Structure 1
Amino acid sequence: MRSEIFFRPAPHWVGDVIPFSDGKRLSLYYLYERRTQPKPGTPWALTTTTDLVHYEDRGIVLPSGGPQAEDHNAYTGSIVQDDEGLHHLFYTASNPERLAADGRPLQLVSHATSLDGEHWDKHPEDTFGAPAGYDPADWRDPFVYRLPGEDQWSMILAARHAQGADRRRGVVARLTSHDLRRWRVEAPLWDPRRFVTQECPEVFRIGQWWYLVYSEFTDRFVTRYRMSRSPHGPWTAPAHDTLDGRGFYAAKSADLHGRRLFFGWIASRSGASDDGPWLWAGTMACLEASQNEDGSLSMSIPTEVLEAYGAPVAATSPTAAVGSREAYGATVLTDVLPDDVAVGVDLSWEPGTRETGLLIRTDAEGETGYIVRLEPVHNRLVLDRWPRRTAGAEQWHLAGDIPHVIELERPIDLSAGRAHIDLIMSHELLQCCVDTRVCLSTSVYDHPSGRLGLFSLDGATTLAGLSIRTRT
């Protein structure tokens, strides 16, 4: 097995991840994205792990059906194991040449079975499309589960009503089956009339709470969740309903030893540039969910991932205090760091401080690079950079109206006046977690190396603890 915190089948990419746990290891199926032209069909590939650090790449396990097949593209789905031990894989089958009435590719639900979870037999006779009242071009991402005490299976899908406002027709459709082959349409699980659709839906329980997790691209490109005391709803939103920001998409989860682990892809950007458009697919990453007292979820970087960085790197300034009530202050804490490190810091700031945080891959003056910024006045975590994209040659062409990477903004309560930050910088990948509850993941390209610094604006910030470690 290869030791790698973030998995990618280089030179190719990870699309939507479909986690499956047998209680001992995680089988992480994923959509295999090649980015070649002409576009090949999309297959499922597989990597496995027992410790979130070492991954064994098993290659393609569910191939594309080919250019003429209904499953030329085998898109997202789920896997369950029946009472006899047989694995059932449900996936989205689509072919760009097979079109619905509106000219978009049909989406169908297809079925395959396996004794070992790696060698699959497809059952095209079980394939079915959207029933009357649903859009036949939005019938995807089947998630199958069985509720405690029930002998029937449920399937939920990312679907759309056939009629209605175009951007508010998204519905989480629901079907039931006793044999995992014949499915009956039931009332929708959730019908918010808010999004174009809710992609990659899943349902699970922690304690007395049920969770419905989904990804959407209508209001924001983000993975969200809803909560209920019942697996049938009603589904309500917590105060902060996102798992991460724009950079961590299509996250789905599995239970391993009583832990809820989410796997998604950190999106890559066109041209390997901070200004490049976001691309579909990227590098696999993991976040762990924990339940708060009110049932809401906190997200963190798993302990195993942080502990994989076990070789200390000396800091030139392990403690520091910067800033004042009327000025900006900053200091550079280290020499140039390796390009794969984990950083842990403890910060505290005086009341009224407007901004504080870390300078990442910065220069010797603490001017260029990335900024992981806590904004107590706005109760948010953001990522900024300097220089920003400039619109021209004039002094005022500094993108001052784009104060940070807007799509990565994360809400967080900073009223305590202190925070612990865990940060991983691994080549172009950046993961940041504050107080093991709020995470920000993304790709960064334009500053591949540099130093670590501390800054504060309109108030003093004290650095009380600092650790910097590389992989062992």
Structure 2
Amino acid sequence: MLRLSDHWVWDSWYARDDDGLWHAFFLPASRALLDPHRRHHRATIGHAVSTDLRDWRLVADALVAADTPAWDDLATWTGSTVRGPDGRWYLFYTGVSRAEQGLVQRIGLAVCDDLVSWHRHGDGPLVEADPTWYETLDPDAWYEHAWRDPWVYPDPAGNGWHMLITARARDGAADSRGVTGHATSDDLLTWQVQPPVSTPAGFGHLEVPQVVVMDGQPLMLFCTNSVTADRGGPDAPLVWVAPGTSTTGPWDVAAAMPYAHPSLYAPRLLPDDAGGWQLIGFRDHEDGRFIGEITDPLPVRYVPGVGLVPTGPDASATPRTPTAPAQAAVAHAETAAR
């Protein structure tokens, strides 16, 4: 696991270099803040490396907040890292500013040749929400302007790149506007915002989206701590997976299926060397206390109509019994999938 004695660690994403070394990019903030709720406006993008996703060695931070004034001079948040056709690495990230008290989120880019020495691309954000389709800052509806957690991946037909984004629809019930935002690019540098690739379905937001194909089934993984009562309410599971007909969507969030775990949040699905899959995320709150450390890999498989289920000899090592609201959420998902 990745646990720091002096920092909390939460959202993470991963890249693997030509030598097979895993690179973890993650959000850290000092435990000297005492209150973990204060960590969000102190976040940087940390960096660690590992050969096995279990034992990690810290290296220099990848990115910190820019000098004031700048659109990302308060904190840098979650993103994704991909290698472009030019051989360079591209780190897409979320930024928030002091001028807006961190309430408005935008997406930026840093680039490098070696996964270590990152430099911002330009001096402004790369992708901003289009109010044609997406909610902007509306304190009467939501506490922030959600436009974060970019997940970038190549088009399966070779037609450029796709970006999935944590966003909210412009209209609808305030507690159920969560959608997956979408943008496209031919070159990773110039992006066009598109309509969302999901529709509101009982979630306030769909955080840290990721797309994979497991056993031929395109899936979108996401997490949320904002769920309407009909899907389980405050005690609903934190991690969900939605099926799609293609990696480009659309994603049937109404048929999303929960992954029952007591505290895992913002996980990523990573392939193992045996052809299987594993989840890695951070431990959120347990017994009312924020943990703030990244787990060891949790082997999983996908079962149609059920979702992700644990596998391997330690599948029952962590309590995973769903609560009553979680069981209701499972039933809802199975009904929607029929």
TM range (shorter): 0.7 to 0.9
Greater gyration radius? 1
Unaligned runs of 5+ in 1: 1-5, 307-341, 345-370, 373-379, 383-404, 413-472
Aligned-partner Cα distance in 1 for 2:47–2:194: 32
Q: In structure 2, do the counterparts of structure 1 residues 261 and 26 end up closer, same or farther at CA, with 3 Å as the change threshold?
A: farther
**Counterpart for residue 352 of structure 1:** none
Give the aligned CA root-mean-square deviation in angstroms. Answer: 3.3
Q: In structure 2, do the counterparts of structure 1 residues 283 and 81 end up closer, same or farther at CA, with 3 Å as the change threshold?
A: closer
* Cα displacement (A) at 1:237: 6.7
Which amino acid is the alignment partner of residue 46 of structure 1? H
* Cα displacement (A) at 1:22: 3.6
Which amino acid is the alignment partner of residue 241 of structure 1? M
Which of residues 286, 290, 299 in structure 1 aligns to 2:301? Answer: 290
Which amino acid is the alignment partner of residue 225 of structure 1? V
Is 1:163 aligned with 2:174? no
Which of residues 202, 208, 224 in structure 1 aligns to 2:210? Answer: 202
Aligned residues: 305
Identity across the alignment (%): 24
Which of residues 163, 173, 180 in structure 2 aligns to 1:172? Answer: 180
Which amino acid is the alignment partner of residue 2 of structure 2? F
Aligned-partner Cα distance in 2 for 1:11–1:293: 42
**Counterpart for residue 112 of structure 1:** 110
Structure richer in helix, relative to its length = 2
Aligned-partner Cα distance in 1 for 2:54–2:86: 32
* Cα displacement (A) at 1:82: 0.7
**Counterpart for residue 48 of structure 2:** 47
TM-score, length-scaled by structure 2: 0.78
Q: 1:386-422 deviations in whole A, cap 9, x for unaligned?
A: xxxxxxxxxxxxxxxxxxx87888999xxxxxxxxxx
TM-score, length-scaled by structure 1: 0.58
Which of residues 376, 381, 392 in structure 1 aligns to 2:321? Answer: 381
Q: In structure 2, do the counterparts of structure 1 residues 268 and 111 end up closer, same or farther at CA, with 3 Å as the change threshold?
A: same
Is 1:33 aligned with 2:33? no
Q: 1:261-309 deviations in whole A, cap 9, x for unaligned?
A: 221111245xxxx3xx3438334342122234778432236x7xx6xxx
**Counterpart for residue 142 of structure 2:** none
Which amino acid is the alignment partner of residue 160 of structure 1? R
Aligned-partner Cα distance in 1 for 2:304–2:326: 26
Aligned-partner Cα distance in 1 for 2:124–2:70: 13
Q: In structure 2, do the counterparts of structure 1 residues 74 and 221 end up closer, same or farther at CA, with 3 Å as the change threshold?
A: farther
**Counterpart for residue 80 of structure 2:** 78
Is 1:13 aligned with 2:8? yes
* Cα displacement (A) at 1:55: 1.8
**Counterpart for residue 89 of structure 1:** 91
Aligned-partner Cα distance in 1 for 2:55–2:296: 13
* Cα displacement (A) at 1:229: 3.1
* Cα displacement (A) at 1:218: 1.8
Which of residues 247, 254, 257 in structure 2 aligns to 1:241? Answer: 257
Is 1:222 aligned with 2:238? yes
Q: In structure 2, do the counterparts of structure 1 residues 61 and 234 end up closer, same or farther at CA, with 3 Å as the change threshold?
A: closer
Q: In structure 2, do the counterparts of structure 1 residues 49 and 410 end up closer, same or farther at CA, with 3 Å as the change threshold?
A: farther
Unaligned runs of 5+ in 2: 137-144, 228-235, 331-338
Aligned-partner Cα distance in 1 for 2:174–2:130: 19
**Counterpart for residue 129 of structure 1:** 128
Aligned-partner Cα distance in 1 for 2:295–2:182: 28
Aligned-partner Cα distance in 2 for 1:69–1:108: 12
Aligned-partner Cα distance in 2 for 1:239–1:135: 23
Aligned-partner Cα distance in 2 for 1:90–1:78: 5
Aligned-partner Cα distance in 1 for 2:7–2:276: 29
Which amino acid is the alignment partner of residue 52 of structure 2? D
* Cα displacement (A) at 1:85: 1.1
